[in-house]
Amino acid sequence: MLSIIAGTRISTLQNKLFHDRIVRAMPNTPGQLGKGMTVWTATEHVAAKQIKQTEAILGAMGEQLGAVRA
């Protein structure tokens, strides 16, 4: 699950959705023009293939920088 919901903790998403594979991202408005910057984090349950998909999706809006939480 990829979330851009502002102010929502990963733990809240996990508890409400009964799902451990969470990517939490914060894009900025220039992303609408493909010149944005998105910072993201993922839980340790997100598979490598899903990380690559996240990078591709968020990279379409501009630069992206992410990390997997341990």
CATH of the domain at 24: 3.40.50.720
**Which range of residues forms the domain containing residue 55?**
2-68
The residues facing 27 across adjacent strands are 38
Average pLDDT, the chain: 92
Considering its fold, how many domains does the chain have in total?
1
pLDDT at 30: 86
The reported pTM is 0.86
21 burial via Cβ count (<10 Å: 0-12, 13-18, 19+) = middle
pLDDT digits (tens, 9 = 90+) for 26-46: 988 888 788 899 999 999 999
